[in-house]
Amino acid sequence: MVVLPFRLRPWFSERPWGRRDLRPWYGDTGTTELVGEAWLTGPQCVVETGAFAGKTLASLSGKLGGEFPLLVKLLFPAEKLSVQVHPDDAWAQALGETRGKTECWYVLESEPGAAVALGLKDGSVADLERSVADGTMESLLKWVSVSVGDMLFVDAGTVHAIGPGVVLLETQQTSDVTYRLYDYGRPRELHLEKGLKVIKPKTAAGKVVPRMMDGFTRLIEQKYFVVDRFDVGAGEVPVAMDGPGCLVALSGSCVVRFDGDELELKTAQAVVVPQGTGAVRVVAETAVSFMRCVAPAS
C-alpha cells in the first residue's frame, strides 16, 4: 500500500531543564510539568491525517520501508542542558546500540548572550573525568555565541551542551543514545565510562555557512540529513523530496498538495513525506517560512 504524506502530532518530553510555557510555538502541552523537547517525528508521535490516523509513526515502519530515519525536535531550554556526547555508528554498535547520533541545531529564538558548547578547548579528554568531581567541566568547553538563523553541526563524538535562552530546531539520526558527562549537580545518572570512550578530541562540529540555492536556503548538507529553509510569498512552490523527510512550518499558513490531495502544514508540526513521493507543492495565501529535512534515499 502506498503511504501518502501525513501530519504528526508532537510528543512532548518532560525535562528538568525545560519550560512550562512553550508559546508561541505551542499552547497546551497536556502536562503541567517542565517540557524540554517537542518531538515532531518521534516513534511515539501519532498520525493526525489520512488513512493511518491514530497510528504511531513507529507502527508504520513496515509500510515506510523501515524506521523513519530522522528525529526532528524543538528544544526549549530554560536552564543548561547536561554536558554530553553521542557515539558515532561504529561506537554505538560496539556498545550494543542500533546506530549513533549525529545532529544539527537551527536557532529559532535567541536571547542576548545565549550560547552553546561544541567541543573541547584544547582537544584533550585527559582532564574531563577530574573536572566532573571538581565542577570545572564547563571551563574546558568551547562556548559559541548564537543568534537567530544560525545552523550548528554537532558531529557524533563532540562533547557539547546547550545554554538557556534559545529555541532550537534539531534534526538528527533517529536515536536517543546520549552519554551524560556532567549535569550541574542534578540527581541524574552519568555515563562517564561509555562517554569517555566515544569522545573525539577534534570533530567537524561548528557553525555552518548557509548557501543560497534556487528558491531556498541550504542550511546544512551532511551524510545523514539535508536541511533547507524556504521563505516564500503567496502562491505555489514545488518542493522536491529526494529521500524520506518532512516539512515543518515556522510561520504563516499553507497547505501541502500531492496526488490530488492536500493537508494543512501547521506551525511547529511535521508533515512526513515518505520516500518515493517525489515533489510535493506548498500552497500559501500569504508569506510563509518552512523547513525541509530530508535523509538520503535508501
Length of the chain (residues): 298
- Establish whether 180 is a catalytic residue: yes
Cα–chain center distance at 122:
28
Half-sphere exposure of 163 (CA within 13 A, CB side): 18
Residue keyed to cell 536557532: 107
CB atoms within 10 A of CB 57: 27
Rounded Cα–Cα distance for residues 212 and 195 (Å): 37
- The CA distance from 129 to 59, in Å, is 41
- 246 closest CA partner among 174, 196, 140: 174
Q: What whole-number distance in Å separates Cα of residue 107 and Cα of residue 148?
A: 5
- List, as own/partner pairs, every contact residues 77-80 make where C-beta atoms lie below 8 angstroms and the sequence separation is at least 24, other chains included: 77/17, 77/18, 77/36, 77/162, 77/163, 77/164, 77/165, 77/166, 78/17, 78/18, 78/19, 78/34, 78/164, 79/16, 79/17, 79/164, 80/17, 80/161, 80/162, 80/163, 80/164, 80/184
Q: Are 47 and 68 in contact (CB under 8 A)?
A: no
The owner of cell 500559501 is 284
Q: Indicate which residue of 7, 9, 99, 180 is catalytic.
A: 180
CA atoms within 13 A on the CB side of 210: 16
Active site residues: 180
